[in-house]
Amino acid sequence: MVTGATSGIGEATARTLAQMGATVIMVGRDPERGAAARERIRSAAGSAAVELMLADLSSLEDIRQLAQQFKHKYQRLHVLVNNAGALFTARQQSVDGIEMTFALNHLNYFLLTNLLLDTLKTSAPARIVNLGASAHQFARRVNFADLQGQRKYSGWSAYSQSKLCNLLFTYELARRLEGTGVTVNALHPGVVATNFGMSGGGLMPMFNRLMRVAMLRPEQGARTSLYLATSPGVEGVSGKYFVNQKAVRSSKASYDQSAADRLWQVSAEMCGLSA
């Protein structure tokens, strides 16, 4: 399963997995864009089994319905790629009244992964791949006192904090999955020429267009995701952060165990899960 699979890195990831012979579940929000992406992947991958499942991953209810839909049809899941994410220059709220960056970039990963954990464990060996970003280094800590930017909001700060949350979640989940045969790792894909930030308003769309010449192609940005999803070289490796297909150290803040514990507790409460 690849989320955010209708364009950019997600589509490139899904396409290559399909070309490798995997049954691929694409997750996207827009039915027309999703159907078009599915046809592009099917065309590139021949007779590969590619299915589109629709969900707004900023919605807790949509995530629950997605997990139920998947479990109703499939009994096994060997790879989950949490790829969907965005940067919002102006503060927005999800349908659940949660700040959009936190809802989409973190709670989406947290809830979907937890809802699919039983299937992943049954399918072991299985792998979870979380798209992080080097932007996590700009967040010195998780601001639990103003987690949703209600007092003060900056799109870049909210995004950086969400990427720090991705790493805290990855490392804590790896600890909880020890001995299960399920691994989880995070990665920075590089600066990739996608539609990321194009709907966020402000200067992001202009910056994105100006910088495209220096950016990686989506196929290049997908390499580390694919490496973590498929390579025998990382079999059994868990709780690591990868850049250019190599494990590297992430920021000091990302290894804060007390912050990871607190983030898990807060996230579970917001999602209605037991901690």
Q: How far apart are CA 106 and CA 126, in angstroms?
A: 21
Residue with tokens 């930030």: 197
Residue with tokens 């709780």: 239
Please choose, from the candidates 140, 155, 154, 234, the residue with its C-alpha nearest in 3D space to the C-alpha of residue 187. 234
- CB hemisphere CA count around 192 (13 angstroms): 24
Residue with tokens 């590139």: 44
Beta strands in the chain (DSSP E): 2-3, 24-28, 50-54, 79-82, 126-131, 182-188, 241-243, 246-248
Strands 182-188 and 241-243 turn out to be parallel
Sequence-distant (≥ 6) Cβ neighbours of residue 154 within 8 angstroms: none
- CB hemisphere CA count around 266 (13 angstroms): 21
Q: Which of 109, 153, 159, 227 is catalytic?
A: 159
Catalytic annotation present for 159:
yes
Please give the positions annotated as active site: 159
